[in-house]
Structures are given as C-alpha cells and as structure tokens.
Amino acid sequence: MSEMPPTGEQPDHRTQLEEALVEVKRVIAGQDEMLERVLVCLVAGGHLLIEGVPGLAKTLTIKTTAAVLGGTFRRVQFTPDLVPSDLVGTRIYRPDSGSFDTEEGPVFCNFLLADEINRAPAKVQSALLEVMQERQVTIGHETRPVPDPFLVMATQNPIESEGTYPLPEAQVDRFMLKVLVGYPTRDEELTVVQRSLVDPADVRRVLEIESLRALQRAVQDIYVDPSLIAYAVSLAEATRDPRAVGLDDVAGLVEYGASPRGPIALVQSARALALVHGRDYVLGSDVRTLAKDALRHRLVLTYRALAEQRSADDVLDAVLERVAAPPLELGRPVAA
C-alpha cells in the first residue's frame, strides 16, 4: 500500500503566487497557459523555453515576470555574431598590475532572458550547458557559482530559418518545459490593442527573492504517489519504444525518445503545478497536463516524420491516449 499523503492546503503560498499572476496580467492579456507554465518553472527551479511566432508577448511576459519578482535580471539578445564570452564572461589582462582579472558575464544573475536563443551558433549554445545544469561557470581555471536561484527563460521563433541555428539536443534537454504559444482569442486581442493605446501599466514587485526560495523549498514537500512516478516513467518509455505499447504506426516517427530528464522534469513540474493550485499532493491530471510540455523537446524525430509533417506532439498525443493514468482519488490510490 502506498504511503498516504499529507492533507491540507498551502494558502500562503497560493496567495503569493496568485498576487504575482495578477500583477503580470496587468500587462499581459490572455496567454493563461503560458503564464501558468512560467510560474511552474519558477517554483520548480527549472529552465523554460517558449516558442511562438513574433508578436505573442513572449519576451514581454518574461520581462514582466522578472519585474514582479525580486532578484537580478539580465537580457541577452542572441545574434549570429555572439561569442561565448559575451555570455559567461572572460579573463582580462591588467597591464598596470601584470595580472588577469575575471570579468563576469550576464549569466551571473537570478533571471536570464535568452531572447531568440536560436539565432546564436552552436559554440554559444554550448556555453550555456554548464551553467544551466550545474549552476556554475568555469572561466579559465576558476569556477564560480551563479546566484541562487538561477533560471534561464528563453524564446525562439519557429517560422524563420535565415540566420537561425537548431538548438543542440544536449541543451534543449536541459529545459524543464518547452511551451508552444498560439495566437490570442479575439477578445484577448481586442484587449491587447486597447492597452496599446495608453501608457503601459507600472507593475510592482510582489515577491522577494527569499520568498521565491521558500516556494521552491515548499515544492519539495509536495506528495507524489509512487504510481504517478511510475506513470511518468511509462510515458517516457513509450516514446522510446512505441511498439511496446502497441503504437506500431508511431514507431517509425521517433529516432530517439525522451531522456531520463523527461520524467524527472515531468514529476518536478507536476509538484510545482500542484503548489500553484493550492494542493500539497499531485494528481494524475497534473502529470497529463504537463506531459507534452515536459517531453516534446526531448524527442528526436525521423526523416519520415519530417517528410509527413508530423510533430512531437502528434507522437505524444498517441502515447497519452494509449498509456493510461493510474486511478487516484485526491492523490490517493484507489483500493483494488
């Protein structure tokens, strides 16, 4: 029998997150799913990749979120002529002292906005691997930790090919979630246009950096039933071997399935989503809601999939339909 989860809610934490969300929505109209995923990554301590066509408020969302939070914020506009030292820093020779000083780059902050991240070449992308995974930067023979917390929030444009570079799989795998942003509804777009006619709202800081750290610690106390952990692993396994779950037609679309970081990110983000919703336990619906965001960027598709214009979401839709979630009631397994 699984260990029973604790009961009760997290009213203080939920209130803090709701206040932050309300403040962001004073600037951002609609895009509720994207805003929720931003909060999930913030409290889960994971990096976020947002993909969408120009003009969907991707950059504005991240800038506004950073303004609502305490801590330091840096923005880097990725371009083809960017070099690794522009991100992580470099060693500078001082003729007056005859020694080298370390000049820290913009990654030494709490929130790094990597705008249009796919416009920089592979050598620049590789410069982010260490800091995204280990929260530290090695410059020369010296290794320095970045501030805590540290989150990379990146945007990319999927429709342009000139002057863009595909992100290396090793780097994409380090993003906890990849969110696809679509066009707003008519009512939301009317609100966007109306707001453009007046001065932008001045957002206030509602969360200090220590409060964010407390929220991140609270995520570690969210209960996850072992059956839900097994469910997350089963979803990842199904992307690696679709035939094992009877998805023969999908098997030819996937070259490589989700890495072990996939179910880790899925379970961690599900805990954060439970906290955002004011619960201290994870439901199967939390895992299903975030499954595509946590796994879509970890799949490597075959040439056949590209030729047939099939996406990672097509594969995951089939997997989610075939792999059943465990029956739970308020986070507790249903007795057999």
Q: With a cut of 80, say whether residue 84 has pLDDT above it.
A: yes
Which of residues 178 and 28 earns the better pLDDT score? Answer: 178
Q: For residue 6, is the peptide bond before it cis, meaning its omega torsion is within 30 degrees of 0? A: no
The per-residue pLDDT for range 57-81, each reduced to its tens digit, is 788 888 888 888 878 888 999 988 8
Looking at the domain that runs over 222-336, which CATH code has it been given?
1.10.8.80
Mean pLDDT score of the chain, rounded to an integer?
85
Prediction pTM value: 0.86
**Average confidence (pLDDT) over 93-98:** 76
Mapped onto helix, strand or coil, the DSSP state of residue 163 is coil
Q: How many other CB atoms are found less than 10 A from the CB of residue 335?
A: 7
Q: Tokens standing for 241?
A: 């071997």
Distances in Å between the Cα of 301 and the Cα atoms of 106, 159, 239, 305 are 34, 18, 11, 6
286 pLDDT band (50/70/90 cuts)?
very high
Of 89-98, 183-192, 297-306, which one has max mean pLDDT? 297-306
Task: Report the C-alpha gap between 214 and 212 in whole angstroms.
Answer: 5
The per-residue pLDDT for range 139-167, each reduced to its tens digit, is 878 888 999 889 898 988 887 666 677 88
Residues whose CB is less than 8 angstroms from the CB of residue 20 and which lie 6 or more positions away in sequence, other chains included: 39, 65, 68, 69, 206, 207
Q: What is the model's pLDDT at position 331?
A: 47
Q: With a cut of 70, say whether residue 92 has pLDDT above it.
A: yes
